[in-house]
Structure 1
Amino acid sequence: MSTQPQPPIDRETLADCETLVADLARAGRAAQRVLARMDDAAKAQALRSAAAALRRNAPAVLAANAQDIAAGEARGLPPAMLDRLRLDDGRLEGMAAAVEAVAALPDPVGEVISRSTVPSGLDLARVRIPIGLIGIIYESRPNVTADAAALCVRAGNAVLLRGGSEAVRSNRAINAALTEGLAAAGVPAEAVQLMPTQDREAVGAMLRAAGLIDMIVPRGGKGLVERVQNDARVPVLAHLDGICHTYVHSAAEPEMARSVALNAKMRRTGICGAMETLLLDANFPAPHAIVDALLDAGCELRGDLRAQAIDPRIAPASANDWDTEYLDAVLSVAVVDGLDAALDHIARHSSGHTDAILTADAAAAERFLAEVDSAIVMVNASTQFADGGEFGLGAEIGIATGRLHARGPVALEGLTTYKWQVRGTGQGRP
């Protein structure tokens, strides 16, 4: 913890931010009431209009992103953060396509979760409804602006977005395009609002806005999530570190294990589903092939003593390495004595995000699925599939690693709650 003295709070700035957030929240809540009255077809059409506007405004979005990249390089942002920040034609098209994919999903609002008649004769139904106004605080990834807007609108929610300063120009350009398209289709512009200031006090004001903001979703580094969880007076749907493990079981098929492990780490090192620890079973017959593939791909390996014995290029791991989300071409490697040891290592060091086993042993796979307590548990697949789009959810707001309300990729269902609808025929309680 820093021992540096903290600057005094500027009371005038604090009051200004409280007023700003309150004004934006009230406008968002009013817009949400309009949005909640729109039917499935109208919301879907509004998102298709937003995707079209995003494509029309692609030159402006990419120009804004180029300014953010240049500013980030000048600030010395690490390569992984620059990769998350960078947009190109392909990524922008993917963003627009994700908005369209959300439009094509079934509307969760109005779904009857359960229905029954109780002995009194009352007909009881649990019906899915929007949460209301959702605040999303995020870093680096400008695609979150589009994903969050699309998911919230589809589920009937308004959203107040606060992106990181490193992506401020990109986020403003994306938001302008989206709201242009949404407004053209009848959605109030205030249903999707981007915080107009990067003042950190505005984040604090969002976290204190109980009664105005219904839920906060933080998406970013550990420092951001910890601040939100510590300071929030609003319910929080949190995403902690992505310390993802891949365990290569003794019965893993060697070529599949090499290919999947390489993909799990090196496809994109800066995403939360990237493997950060590789566990090699002591009886796996081909550890050298996996280690060589990773090293040849430019990955730095840090291992325990038995892992170092596999290849002299593996550096020694520190105690902190097993609890580190690198988000870079760095990987911890440990050799373990069987499934029990792998499960124990994961229980001690996993962040509860995504963990995988590679094996041809069905019994070992089923035990791993049952005993690993993470939001996503995989068999014979790369942890990089930990993504709402890959799960058929269209897009995601984040991977929730807690146990309440929503877990894993948070998409439409995770952005709804429910209410009880009770229908009677004149009953009075005896």
Structure 2
Amino acid sequence: MSGDQVDVVLRARRAVVDGTERPASVGVRDGYVAGVEDVDHPWGAGREVVLADDEVLLPGLVDTHVHVNEPGRTEWEGFASATRAAAAGGVTTILDMPLNSVPATLDPAALAVKRAAAQGRCAVDVGFWGGAVPGNADQLGPLHEAGVYGVKCFLLDSGVEEFPPLDAAGLQEALTELARFDGLMLVHAEDGGELHEHAGGPRFADFVASRPPSAEAVAVRTVAEAAARAGARAHVVHLSSAAGLAEVRAAKAAGTRITVETCPHYLTLDADHVPDGDTAFKCCPPIRDRAEQDALWRGLLDGTIDCVVSDHSPCTAELKRLSEGDFGAAWGGIASLQIGLPVVWTAARERGVPLATVVGWMSSATADLAGLGDRGRIRAGNVADFAVFAPEQAWTVDAQALHHKNKVTPYAGRDLVGVVRSTWRRGAPVDLDDPSGRLLSR
């Protein structure tokens, strides 16, 4: 293949290719990977980029769980700020959740409204999930045909009135409809009957106790049984507990078509180190103790947990009630879209987990979940989306320097290792001020 003509070639002494780290050169033609060869391969290139010795070439990350909140609650985030944050963090594709925007993405008309709001505002590629709520089972097929990658439901109050939860009968109806065309159901799996009353207040332990692991375990079992009856695919979002993990493991062993994700905050933050009154740490399910965290890492390493996503769920500083410190009144959600990779890598490095493994959880596995076969890996034929990552560079999170619209994050002041030095989309470095990202359809 000597002399292959490409537009640009990237040469890296360290690159994550086929799940391993090795030297490689990557040729790019017309925005796609033309081939992957030895690092010194004599490409005929119009431009050559040689990575520094301390840099690793990664596939662009795919984050399949992002709440952009536009239109309707754009003061919480928005496509422009969210996709700039994504690009700054090495994320080249995001999938937007159907709720917290108004209208919620519950039918093709609402999807069209959201796509119109995103058009011309995105620095990275953006796809969309639809939603399943009581009474819209007849819209799941049309949403699928309109290009959503699947639909999401809640089994308890979502926190916004326009996205009510499904009861057991509604869940079964939706899964049965999705099975008809092999659609994917994402589920916020907490069982409301297992929650305990929380009077509010500043004690984080009280909030955690109100949402015990049993709520997740019961809900995961409910989802698995309903999916098995329907012959449908189900995906459990933001797993937080060993009890929930055990239910997923049992369902997979039984042949149920179920997958599961977890998030940086469950892998790196623990309840014993959350300051009372610091509502930046509030999310649902809650951050749990170190034993639960260790179980999640074991679940990732043995393949029970399929992938890691941000669940970027920002809101305004006012809604976090930071001055009051009331975990009952504050909005629940963690903002981490821009810093997910270094957060997870810092913890993985301490546990002896290779960078290539982390990248697999956050790129190829997430791409596979959504059926995005043209991204998530550096291989011929895929879109030429990359992140240039310096895995040993130390830094401290400055919340004010993040591109998130609202600068509230529990990682403020946290010491991390790993810096995304540049992000490439379709064979060119991303300009954060150039909204040339594409809107994707299944």
Structure with more relative contact order (C-alpha pairs < 8 Å, separation 6 or more):
2
TM-score in terms of structure 2 length? 0.29
TM-score in terms of structure 1 length? 0.29
